Amino acid sequence: MISGRLRFESSHATEFVDITKRLRDAVQESGLRTGRVYLQSLHTTLGLAINENEPLLLRDFQHLLERLAPGDAGYEHDDFERRFEISVDEPVNGHAHCRQLLLTGFATLLVEDGKLVLGRWQSVFAVELDGPRHRQVAMQMDGAFSPPHQPLGSPRRRRGSGQSAGWGDTSDGSREARLVEAELMRQLMVDPDPVAAPMRRLMEAGGKRLRPKLVQLTSQIGPRHDPLRAAELAAAVELLHNATLIHDDYVDESTYRRGRPTVAAEEGAERAIAVGDYYFAKATRLIAEIGINGVTSTMAQAIEAICASQIDDVALRGAFPGDHDSYLRVVRGKTAALFAAACASGALLSEAPSEVVEALRRYGDLLGVAFQMADDMVDFSPSSGKPVGLDIRQRVLSLPLIYAAEDREVGTEVRRLLSGALGDKEVGRVVELVTSSEALRRVGDEARGLVDAALRELESVELDGLRPTLVSLARSAVDRES
Amino acid sequence: MSVQAPDRELDRLEGLWADGLSESYRSYLEAVSDYEADAQPKLALAAALIEAGVRLQGLGGRAAPAPTLLMGDLCLARASRLLADAASLAVQVAFARAIEGLSAAAASGSPSRPVRELLLNAFTATA
């Protein structure tokens, strides 16, 4: 038996959140060959449904629910004078409870040959009835398991423990991935609780651990491969990355990350700043203690590039959505700098030749930009598990938006909408316009082109058999939503 | 006496120079006179930037607004790079530990020793 939680944020009052892909991925990761997946909504205003993901049909369902339990019908549940022990933020949502009664809060799905048994037109929806909110669906899998296949980007699940493993992606379940997780746990264990607890929660919520993977892979290229030292550097890089995320979330006023409240939202801005600073300092110390000047300098330059580009990023929000050149400049610092530094520092750790270090640095830089482009596309994917249009709401630099704003068909309307206040209606319309334009295809093509360029950087250097892994990692970083 | 920090090291932070950074830089310069001449400006500026950075961020006090926090982050990052360029491993570690101590105290709401005292002490670290 494997247990876990599907966490997501809804973005509308009523919303059909398609969770089919996440369920398929979870089944694949678990190694369940034949059996059942049990789902249970953990909320009284969140239903579950299996039906067709056809936008007009979903609107029909929404209208049906509105007719059967209208929002303005007057519900005794909303008469707070007659209720006891209500909280100060009790919502007026009798209609949402009644609508949930018309749906179901449970679902059992069959698994055969390692795949969900679904008809051609069937999708699984979590049906938000009182959003936007942070939501959870409990999930259990039962049946016959084979040794698990865990592709890149998947959260590791612990068998038989009754709960999902807390830490992030250990991808192939490799010794290297486990070493990083152990090192992260070890580091957090010795830290004072006021800083360690928030960081632990962030780490437990998952994450792709791409940067540590890059460190560990590239640390195998030179003649001095030391897995323990590589794991120490990889863990420090991951701590550094998460420290930057904690400050980013405060700057972006984000309330959720990886399906959980951000440190700033949960603990306050003051604590978030302190936790970010603590792990920034600790990560730089751990990197320095490795004792290789080239590694220390490489990482220090990357940190500086990240911070400088964050300033540019915020400044550019005044000219939202910005242009391609500005986008590349910011992304090179904000995302690609740490990818490049992770690749170069792993290689430096192993004493790889300088031409290999530089080739890997360029590979990391191009991969980082491509990764960010793919990440931008996730904002328009209803199956990603993240609220659609969050980047638009937060006016975050995004290449699909830049391309949509340039589009001959939809550009004028996109620019007009983005220049005004962005409520649910406007964000929804922008998403429609972007998805109906060529913007996402252009971004996808550009990201794949960058991955091809990144791989070309590796053609002329000896990689000691690691080329297929670096190729696979690069492809998966971009094609995760395709 | 007027002092000048390398222009490149103040990129995007120019406004801070007149806002107290030059004075703290001068104070730290006196504290690093035992180091090699080439390293002295970088070490002094690193310490001054850390002092400015945590002040801008509001560490241990009221949180700074986002743009000011980012300036503070850049101060810390640049200081880290300057230390990587010019400081011994022992001094780099001592500076990092000073920031760890300051931020852990801030997170727990405990009082901390003054930043300058901590950083001056970090300069005395030896392997």
Give pLDDT, residue A3: 73
What domain range is A184 assigned to? 175-481
Q: Judge if A139 and A186 occupy the same domain.
A: no
Q: What is the pLDDT of residues B74-103, one digit of tens each?
A: 999 999 999 999 999 999 999 999 999 999
Give pLDDT, residue A385: 62
Q: B104-112 long-range CB contacts below 8 Å, 24 or more apart?
A: B104/A191, B104/A192, B104/A194, B104/A195, B104/A274, B104/A278, B105/B60, B106/A270, B106/A273, B106/A274, B106/A277, B106/B59, B106/B60, B107/A192, B107/A194, B107/A195, B107/A271, B107/A274, B107/A275, B107/A278, B108/A192, B108/A194, B112/B60
Q: What is the pLDDT of residues A318-329, one digit of tens each?
A: 788 999 999 999
Q: To the nearest whole angstrom, how far is the Cα of B116 from the nearest Cα of chain A?
A: 17
Residue A396 lies in a domain: yes
The domain total for chain B is 1
The listed range with the strongest mean pLDDT (A2-11, A161-170, A186-195, B7-16) is: A186-195
Residue B71 lies in a domain: yes
Q: Judge if A180 and A267 occupy the same domain.
A: yes
Q: What is the pLDDT of residues A159-196, one digit of tens each?
A: 333 333 334 454 455 788 889 999 999 999 999 999 99
Contacts of A270 in chain B (CB under 8 A): 58, 61-63, 106
Give the confidence band of A258 by pLDDT, cuts at 50, 70, 90. confident
Residue A165 lies in a domain: no
Q: Judge if A138 and A216 occupy the same domain.
A: no
Contacts of B103 in chain A (CB under 8 A): 195, 274-275, 277-278, 281
Residue B7 lies in a domain: no
Q: Judge if A449 and A391 occupy the same domain.
A: yes
Q: Judge if A370 and A230 occupy the same domain.
A: yes
Residue A107 lies in a domain: yes
Find the CATH number of the domain harbouring A19. 2.60.120.460
Residue B33 lies in a domain: yes
The domain total for chain A is 2
What domain range is B47 assigned to? 15-122
ipTM, interface predicted TM-score of the complex: 0.96
**Spatial distance between the Cα atoms of A470 and B21, rounded to a whole number of angstroms:** 45
Residue B3 lies in a domain: no
Give pLDDT, residue A166: 33
Find the CATH number of the domain harbouring A373. 1.10.600.10
Query: Shortest CB distance from B70 goes to which of A303, A304, A314?
Result: A314
Q: Judge if A325 and A455 occupy the same domain.
A: yes
Residue B29 lies in a domain: yes
Transcribe B69-103 into DSSP letters. Answer: HHHHHHHHHHHHHHHHHHS-HHHHHHHHHHHHHHH
Residue B1 lies in a domain: no
The mean pLDDT value for A117-139 works out to 91
**Spatial distance between the Cα atoms of A434 and B38, rounded to a whole number of angstroms:** 54
Q: Judge if A119 and A185 occupy the same domain.
A: no
- Asked if A334 is an interface residue toward chain B (Cβ–Cβ < 8 A), one would say no
The answer to whether A247 contacts B58, with C-beta atoms less than 8 Å apart, is: no
